[in-house]
Amino acid sequence: MLFVKFDKRALSKVAAVVITVIVIVAAVGGYFAYTTLFPPTPKVTEVRIGCPYPLSGTAATIGLDCKPLIEWFVDQINKEGGIKSLGGAKIKAIFADTESKPEIARIQAAKLITEDKCVVLMDGTLSGNALTQAEECEKYGVPIILGASSSPTLTERGFKYTFRHWAHDKMLARSLFAFLKDLEKGSGKKVETIAIVTDNTLFGVDCGKAYKSANEDPKIGGYKIVEHIEFPIGPTDLTSEVARLKVAKPQALFLAVTTAGDCILLQRAFKKMDFNFWALLSGSGHHMPEYGAIGKTAWYAYIRLPYGPDLILKKTWVKPIADKFKELTGREFTAYPAAAYASLVLIRETLEKCGSIDPKKIRDMLAVIDIPTEKIPLAYGIKFDENGQNIYALPVINQLQETGWRTVWPTEVATVKAIFPQPTWAERGD
């Protein structure tokens, strides 16, 4: 038999060490087991918003207008504490130049998602660009907010990640036709013939279809379409097209022209060729500040917008934003920057309510959010239907008069009376 003599004090020391080691191992093992079973949520410090805007090319004016405003507003949000439900996470806007081209827009959207790790994208310019960007967002499961892209196609493809707070061309077209009917009633003058003039972009072509479709509704349409012209964007000359219009003699023109440059070419050609009509109803382009640079020649055009510059008179809180925009860019606060601002308000509200940077959760919150018009510089609030279209979208009609762009319709928000029919070129004495 082997007798082992133990020293009681040594034994207690060994026991203490063994017990300590066991406790440490248990603690560490328990921690790893816990974190494996219940992984901790990493703290969010930054929320990346992708802004694939045209900063060069035919639509560069839009992107270059919106960029400083977006950067300023993001800065304001961050100074106010960032997204509070995300522990004060800061917003970072990451811009990518789409060059006003759809395929570049697609590449840039993909880059913003895959390389820059943006959790939501916002755009509000060309429908052609929005089309390809939305496809990339749908593929990667990242929501995109569209501010000013009005092609109906964008919310008719069953995409779950596309959200547009602007009205689409079918709604906008119907509003222009309804407005023309109201003009007829108010003036007692009956319009029999119209012409449709668009450029050949996706926006122009879709608008042309929307005008034809609205005209088929006997309540608001029923006019004879005497001419339908679709010209290539950025032409060297439009006098031949105006000659066709002059021969056709429409009383009202429905236009969808993307760039201010083409609007100017057309309007000056109307004047030079003494082509007179009662109303020019425009889908875009005419509200850009450059159009007004041609002076009286530009007057009396109507345009449908989600934002009228004189809306400031009714929403006084918009004035400091408009002043800031003027300070940043030297230009007037128009529909595109207003739409961009609204998109940012929407994103901020969504992130606050959602409390997550998971694009799927952001998307789910966008699908149910309801923002009242008081919070955004548009004539309406924001709530999306199952296709991602804002059900509250309501276009207002502005007319360019001597005092600038004024809201003339609907009557509930009108600030002045519409001038209809517009004076002839001879009567204008210009």
Partner 1 sequence: MLIQVILNAFFLGAIYSLVSIGLTLIWGTMKIINFSHGSLMMVSMYISFWLWFIIDLDPLISIFIIFPLMYGIGYLFQRFIVMPILEAERHAQLLMTFGLMLVIKNTVLYVWRADYRIILPFYADLFFRIGEIVFDAPRVIAFTAAIAFSIGLHFFMTKTSIGMAIRAVAQDSEAASAMGINVYRIYGITCGLGTAFAGVAGVLISTYYPVHPDVGTAFMFMAFVIIVLGSMGNYLGAIVAGLIIGVTEGITAYLLSSSLRQAVAFIVFILTLLLKPEGLFRRVLRR
Asked whether position 260 contacts partner 1 by CB under 8 A, the answer is yes
Among 20, 76, 240, 424, binds partner 1 (CB under 8 A): 240
- Name which of residues 178 to 217 contact partner 1 (CB under 8 A): 200
Distance CA 135, CA 126 (A): 15
User: In 165-316, at which residue ranges do the beta strands (DSSP E only) sit?
Assistant: 193-199, 224-231, 252-256, 279-282, 301-305
66/333 Cα distance (integer angstroms): 10
Cα separation, 403 vs 313, whole angstroms: 14
Among the listed residues 48, 53, 61, 266, the single contact to partner 1 using CB under 8 A: 61
**51 vs 63: CA distance, rounded Å:** 9
Under the criterion CB under 8 A, does residue 247 sit at the interface with partner 1? yes
- Nearer Cβ to partner 1 (136/227): 227
Q: What is the footprint of partner 1 within residues 220-239 (CB under 8 A)?
A: 229-232, 234-239
Residue 265 contacts partner 1 per CB under 8 A: yes
* CA–CA distance, 95 with 64 (Å, rounded to integer): 11
Nearest alpha-carbon partner for 286 in 405, 178, 409: 405
Place of tokens 């679709």: 230
- To partner 1, the closest distance from the beta carbon of 61 in angstroms equals 4
Phi, psi values for residue 375, rounded to 5°? -90, -10
Give the DSSP letter string of 364-402: HHHHH-EE-GGGSSSSS-EEB-TTSBBTT---EEEEEET
Question: Do 371 and 346 touch, CB atoms closer than 8 A?
Answer: yes
Asked if residue 327 binds partner 1 (CB under 8 A), the reply is: no
Cβ atoms of 208 and 230 within 8 Å: the answer is yes
Residue 74 corresponds to which amino acid? V
Q: What x/- string results for residues 272 through 311 when contact with partner 1 is judged by CB under 8 A?
A: xxx-------------xxx--xxx-x--------------
Pairing of strands 144-146, 224-231: unpaired
Q: Does 253 bind partner 1 (CB under 8 A)?
A: no
Among 60, 94, 328, 413, the residue binding partner 1 under the rule CB under 8 A is 60
**Segment interacting with partner 1, rule: CB under 8 A, options 23-31, 58-66, 152-160, 173-181:** 58-66
**Nearest approach, Cβ of 368 to partner 1 (angstroms)?**
38
For partner 1, give the closer residue by CB, 56 or 373: 56
Minimum distance between the CB of residue 69 and partner 1, rounded to whole angstroms? 14
From 153-161, 268-276, 304-312, 353-361, give the range in contact with partner 1 by CB under 8 A: 268-276
Q: Does 46 bind partner 1 (CB under 8 A)?
A: no
In terms of C-beta density within 10 A (0-12 exposed, 13-18 middle, 19 or more buried), how is residue 279 classed?
A: buried
* Residue 145 · residue 343 · CB < 8 Å: yes
DSSP 8-state secondary structure symbol assigned to residue 6? P
**Shortest reach from residue 282's CB to partner 1, in Å:** 16
CB 230, min distance to partner 1, A: 5
Helical spans, DSSP H, in 188-259: 202-215, 239-248
Q: Please say which residue, 120 or 245, places its beta carbon nearer to partner 1.
A: 245
DSSP-derived pairing of the beta strands 370-371 and 301-305 = unpaired
Residue 102 in the binding site for partner 1 (CB under 8 A): no
Residue 258 CB, shortest distance to partner 1, in Å, is: 12
* Binding-residue total with partner 1 (CB under 8 A): 42
The one-letter code for the residue type at 227 is E
**Least CB distance to partner 1 at residue 78 (A):** 26
Minimum CB distance to partner 1 smaller for 56 or for 85 = 56
Nearest distance in Å: CB 124, partner 1: 16
Report the residue number, 16 or 293, with the smaller CB distance to partner 1: 293
Residue type, 131: L
Sign of the dihedral through C-alpha 177, 182, 185, 186: negative
Residue closer to partner 1, measured from CB, 41 or 236: 236
| Candidate list 261, 309, 377, 381; residue touching partner 1; CB under 8 A | 261
Do 284 and 257 meet the contact criterion of CB atoms below 8 Å apart? yes
Which chain residues interact with partner 1 by CB under 8 A? 56-61, 64, 200, 229-232, 234-241, 243-244, 246-247, 259-261, 264-265, 268, 271-274, 288-290, 293-295, 297, 430
